[in-house]
């Protein structure tokens, strides 16, 4: 009987051990003192950090055993008295880390499918960002040196890079519908205005409930609902008649759209604080100087808040066309009437005040103006 009881105990113990689920973090920690405490932090549904476990670094290593995550989300490691953190996705797979005290951002995280996909995404976006910065710098130099042909090529390359990045995010979201990274990619696309709200909603609805109910999933759901509601509001689009408006000029007089019309008119929504606007301004200046005598007029509508910032930017960027602003930031009534939710934003009007194109930048803007004015008699 004793042998039977012992055998039953062993079987039960083995069964209990087999039922235990979870994952572990094993790390090599370079540069840390012995006894440094490591905290494993989660983020609650209310977006607050919560410490869920801890460990101590000894001889440059530590290990933490964690339960199976209840929901897909980010966790991160922090270290006592050391600024910064190491981010990772909680998933039911072993995670190995190489952590550098003097450069936590350079730490290496190797985990399961979710972490691999996440860090591939992060590295790809970082690469796109670095290339855009490089092209932007080269474009600015070429513009200042009046190297128009080179600037045009760089602008074209930059626009293609932006399109490639957008397509990369879209493809990642479409091909990884069971991953939290797809939620991240959709969120980024929506925030960047690179995807329409209704399109994002269709993709979100196709995701499994396990992702929709995560913290990031709920955040994306709220973001989509807000974007869909805004998209349903009144907006002026291609084929619409432009709505007339009037607002103060830099010298305090009132100027209307009707008074600013040419054979072709660009309504340019911008602001001194908007970096993409300021980067695009040299291209708009070049197009204006080339086509103004053929009938191109521009009226700039600024979303600035301060008069001095607005007028200084006009002078600094040599924007020699009509300007108006209510100095009301995103509450500007003209921007709201036109449904403008990001800048730069442009509306191109024909001589009758109808919108024939919108939101063209770089070489696409000049191409359209050329089509409209190069073959017209003055």
Band the pLDDT of 204: cuts 50, 70, 90.
very high
Mean pLDDT throughout 34-63? 92
Tokens of 303: 């979303």
Mean pLDDT throughout 16-21? 49
Q: How far apart are CA 129 and CA 268, in angstroms?
A: 26
Give the mean pLDDT of the chain. Answer: 89
Domain with CATH 2.60.40.180 in the chain: 22-111
Which sign, positive or negative, has the C-alpha torsion 367, 369, 372, 373?
negative
Band the pLDDT of 46: cuts 50, 70, 90.
confident
Helix, strand, coil % (nearest 5) of the chain?
Answer: 45, 25, 30
b vs e for 237-251, b when ≥16 Cβ sit within 10 Å of the residue's Cβ?
A: eeeeebeebebeebe
Residue 33: how many CB atoms within 10 A of its CB?
A: 10
b vs e for 159-195, b when ≥16 Cβ sit within 10 Å of the residue's Cβ?
A: eeebeebbeebbebbeebeebbbbbbbbbbbbeeebb
- The residue that leads in pLDDT, 240 or 245, is 245
Q: Which of 75-79, 148-152, 280-284 has the lowest mean pLDDT?
A: 148-152
User: For residue 10, is pLDDT > 50?
Assistant: no
- The residue that leads in pLDDT, 193 or 376, is 193
- Counting residues of the chain whose pLDDT is more than 90, the rounded percentage is 72
Give the C-alpha distances (Å, rounded to integers) separating 24 from 87, 90, 208, 280, 282: 15, 10, 26, 49, 54
Q: How far apart are CA 348 and CA 261, in angstroms?
A: 11
Q: Please classify residue 360 by burial: count the beta carbons closer than 10 Å to its beta carbon, then call 0-12 exposed, 13-18 middle and 19+ buried.
A: middle
Mean pLDDT throughout 333-349? 91
Give the C-alpha distances (Å, rounded to integers) separating 87 from 44, 78, 105, 138, 319: 15, 9, 9, 33, 45
Q: Which of 61-65, 96-100, 300-304, 339-343 has the lowest mean pLDDT?
A: 339-343
- Decide if domain 246-373 falls under CATH 3.40.30.10: yes
Domain with CATH 3.40.30.10 in the chain: 246-373
Q: Which of 16-20, 114-118, 200-204 has the lowest mean pLDDT?
A: 16-20
Mean pLDDT throughout 123-151? 92
Decide if 305 contacts 329 (C-beta within 8 A). Answer: yes
Q: Indicate the CATH number for domain 22-111.
A: 2.60.40.180
pLDDT of 376 reads 52
Q: How far apart are CA 101 and CA 378, in angstroms?
A: 68
pLDDT of 89 reads 94
């Amino acid at each position: 009987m004793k042998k039977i009881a012992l055998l039953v105990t062993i079987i039960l113990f083995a069964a209990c051990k087999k039922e235990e689920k979870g994952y572990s973090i094993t790390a090599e920690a370079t540069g840390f003192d012995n006894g440094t405490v490591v905290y494993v932090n989660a983020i609650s549904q209310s977006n607050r950090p919560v410490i869920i476990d801890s460990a101590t670094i000894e001889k440059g290593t530590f290990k933490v055993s964690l339960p199976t995550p209840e929901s897909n989300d980010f966790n991160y490691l922090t270290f006592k008295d050391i600024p910064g953190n190491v981010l990772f996705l909680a998933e039911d797979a072993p995670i190995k880390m190489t952590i550098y005290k003097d450069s936590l951002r350079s730490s290496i995280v190797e985990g399961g499918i979710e972490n691999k996909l996440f860090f591939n995404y992060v590295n790809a976006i970082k690469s796109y960002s670095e290339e855009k910065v490089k092209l932007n710098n080269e474009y600015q130099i070429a513009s200042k040196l009046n190297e128009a042909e080179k600037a045009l090529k760089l602008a074209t390359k930059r626009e293609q890079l932006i399109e490639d990045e957008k397509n990369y995010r879209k493809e990642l979201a479409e091909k990884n519908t069971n991953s939290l990274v797809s939620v991240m990619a959709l969120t980024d696309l929506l925030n960047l205005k690179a995807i329409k709200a209704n399109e994002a909603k269709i993709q979100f609805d196709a995701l499994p409930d396990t992702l929709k109910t995560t913290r990031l999933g709920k955040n994306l759901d709220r973001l989509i609902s807000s974007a869909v509601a805004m998209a349903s509001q009144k907006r002026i689009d291609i084929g619409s008649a432009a709505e007339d408006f009037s607002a103060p000029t830099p010298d305090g007089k009132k100027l209307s759209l009707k008074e600013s019309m040419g054979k072709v008119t660009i309504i340019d929504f911008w602001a001194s604080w908007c970096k993409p606007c300021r980067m695009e301004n040299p291209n708009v200046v070049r197009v204006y100087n080339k086509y103004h005598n053929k009938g191109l007029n521009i009226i700039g509508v600024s979303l600035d808040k301060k008069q001095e910032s607005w007028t200084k930017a006009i002078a600094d960027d040599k924007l020699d066309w009509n300007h108006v602003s209510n100095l009301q930031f995103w509450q500007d009534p003209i921007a709201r009437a036109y449904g403008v939710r990001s800048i730069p934003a442009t509306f191109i009007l024909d001589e009758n005040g109808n919108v024939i194109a919108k939101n063209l930048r770089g070489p696409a803007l000049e191409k359209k103006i050329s089509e409209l004015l190069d073959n017209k008699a003055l």
